[in-house]
Amino acid sequence: MHTLAIPALLISLLLPLTVFCENCEKPYNVEILVSDDVNGDIKNLTAQGAITLHQDVFQVLVANQTIKKLCQNYVIINNELTVLQLLNNSIEDISPSAFNISATLALLKISENPLNTIKKGVFNEVRTKELDLSYNNIAVIEADALENNTYLEIIKLNHNFIKEFDPNWFTKTPNVYKISAIYNEMTKIPAYAFVNMTKSRPLKIRLSANRIEEIDPMALEGAGIIDMLKLGGNRIRELPGQLFVNKTIKSLQVDTNKLQCFPEEFFNSTLTELTFEDNTSFDCACLIRVKNFVEDRNVTVVYPAIICEDKSKGVQIVFNKDKTFKIPIIKPSTV
Ligand SMILES: *[C@@H]1O[C@H](CO)[C@@H](O)[C@H](O)[C@H]1NC(C)=O
Ligand SMILES: *[C@@H]1O[C@H](CO)[C@@H](O)[C@H](O)[C@H]1NC(C)=O
Ligand SMILES: *[C@@H]1O[C@H](CO)[C@@H](O)[C@H](O)[C@H]1NC(C)=O
Ligand SMILES: *[C@@H]1O[C@H](CO)[C@@H](O)[C@H](O)[C@H]1NC(C)=O
Ligand SMILES: *[C@@H]1O[C@H](CO)[C@@H](O)[C@H](O)[C@H]1NC(C)=O
Ligand SMILES: *[C@@H]1O[C@H](CO)[C@@H](O)[C@H](O)[C@H]1NC(C)=O
Ligand SMILES: *[C@@H]1O[C@H](CO)[C@@H](O)[C@H](O)[C@H]1NC(C)=O
Ligand SMILES: *[C@@H]1O[C@H](CO)[C@@H](O)[C@H](O)[C@H]1NC(C)=O
Ligand SMILES: *[C@@H]1O[C@H](CO)[C@@H](O)[C@H](O)[C@H]1NC(C)=O
Ligand SMILES: *[C@@H]1O[C@H](CO)[C@@H](O)[C@H](O)[C@H]1NC(C)=O
């Protein structure tokens, strides 16, 4: 019993230290590349601890370094800066307040890092128009991770492992008009997904190449004008009619899904551009309606080679914007 009591006492003394002190060291000899303007000279500097600048520059690029964790105040910049990129630096974790930058950036890009979670406190106060977190290992973005960021306009999360689209990402981010999260693992678009994105300019939403099966009928409720909604390469069987009631969607992409037709309400919409099926299960009668719809409304059909099999008549109907071809179904020859 005595032999156990001493280590227990030691642990209880050490524990408060590990809880209250951030166990985070800023690495030495981190190479950073700095350029004065878009095409200007590139300077090669070495940061010892925090990254700081002593003059106004256009871009800071940190690439191929080893910085496992970005500690609090890791980047302290009080000079002018437009672009900050951290690429392929083995970043696993970013502490709240890691970025202490007074300038308003055009782009903050953190890519090709084994980063798993975007925590509250990291980006809420960072002034940047575009935040690009593509090509990391992000599975979780905390609901309030971007809250109150009034500078943000564009969020890119492409090629990560995000499973859930959270409408709360846009709480009090009144200027976000573009979200791009292609190649992730989302399975549904929830109700009121885009309600808190901006109302002052058309929205651009890219959710292609996910695993979306379900779109809540209220998904687009309360959203502003939608310039572009890209949902290609998902597992969508049905688009809820409510998506098209009293909404403005200009360009819709739903190619490479499992659709068989569009809902009635679709045919009343004011769409100007449509990219859709390449699935032979698409309903032939519906395809004719779509053809008439796009012709009557002068809708641009982006990939017009749409085929459906009318088995009863033994033909494939190939739909192009201006022409409809009927081709006999060729049965695979038996050897
Ligand atoms: C930067 O400088 C270091 C040390 O002088 C050198 O090893 C490295 O190759 C340089 N990097 C670039 C990208 O110029
Ligand atoms: C980082 O490494 C990659 C691959 O080795 C190389 O192509 C790239 O130029 C490097 N980036 C910088 C800024 O040194
Ligand atoms: C990432 O950086 C390491 C050096 O830290 C380098 O060996 C590797 O080629 C880089 N990878 C890419 C994709 O740039
Ligand atoms: C940001 O850096 C400044 C020094 O430039 C410091 O005074 C301030 O406390 C830092 N902010 C935070 C939130 O740590
Ligand atoms: C956003 O701002 C409100 C009001 O100032 C504050 O109560 C809240 O904690 C902030 N949220 C975050 C995540 O910082
Ligand atoms: C939208 O923003 C309002 C006010 O900031 C907030 O109460 C609401 O929860 C947000 N809705 C969503 C779906 O995030
Ligand atoms: C259509 O949407 C607008 C604004 O979102 C709203 O004011 C109006 O009541 C809606 N009309 C119908 C018929 O839902
Ligand atoms: C085409 O759509 C049907 C009906 O929804 C579905 O069962 C089938 O898997 C789809 N084909 C492909 C290649 O996705
Ligand atoms: C389509 O619009 C017409 C005319 O506004 C209306 O009578 C009809 O109910 C609408 N159909 C659907 C399915 O929304
Ligand atoms: C259809 O749209 C095209 C370009 O979007 C335009 O050039 C053409 O005049 C339009 N035709 C009609 C009949 O509105």
Residue 159 reports pLDDT greater than 90: yes
Give residue 44 CA to ligand 1 midpoint distance, Å.
6
> What's the rounded mean pLDDT across residues 295-301?
87
The token duo for 6 is 């001493």
Return the percentage of the chain with pLDDT > 70, whole number. 86
Q: What is the pLDDT of residue 15?
A: 39
Q: What is the pLDDT of residue 14?
A: 39
DSSP code, position 33:
E
Residue 12 reports pLDDT greater than 60: no
DSSP code, position 243:
G
| Atom 11 of ligand 4: nearest residue by CA position | 100
Q: Provide the pLDDT confidence category of residue 245 given band limits of 50, 70 and 90.
A: very high
Residue 184 reports pLDDT greater than 80: yes
> What's the rounded mean pLDDT across residues 117-122?
96
> What's the rounded mean pLDDT across residues 221-248?
96
Judged by its nearest atom, the ligand closest to the C-alpha of residue 267 is 9
Residue 331 reports pLDDT greater than 90: no
> Between these two residues, 188 and 6, which has the higher pLDDT value?
188
Q: What is the pTM of this model?
A: 0.88
Q: What is the pLDDT of residue 279?
A: 73
The token duo for 204 is 């651009």
* Binding-site residues, ligand 8, Cβ < 6 A: 237, 258, 260, 279, 281
Q: Provide the pLDDT confidence category of residue 38 given band limits of 50, 70 and 90.
A: low
> What's the rounded mean pLDDT across residues 295-317?
76
Residue type, 38: V
Residue 18 reports pLDDT greater than 60: no
Which residues, 6 or more positions from 26, have their beta carbon under 8 angstroms from its beta carbon? 49, 50, 71, 74
Tell me, using a 6 A CB cutoff, whether residue 76 lines ligand 4. Answer: yes
Residue type, 321: K
Residue 21 reports pLDDT greater than 60: no
> What's the rounded mean pLDDT across residues 81-99?
96
Q: Provide the pLDDT confidence category of residue 295 given band limits of 50, 70 and 90.
A: confident
Return the percentage of the chain with pLDDT > 90, whole number. 67
Query: Long-range contacts of range 222-228, CB-CB < 8 Å, 24 or more positions apart?
Result: 222/192, 222/194, 222/195, 223/193, 223/194, 223/195, 223/197, 223/247, 224/194, 224/197, 224/198, 224/199, 224/200, 225/250, 226/194, 226/202, 226/250, 227/202, 227/203, 227/251, 228/202, 228/203, 228/204, 228/253
CA 31 to ligand 1: nearest atom: 1
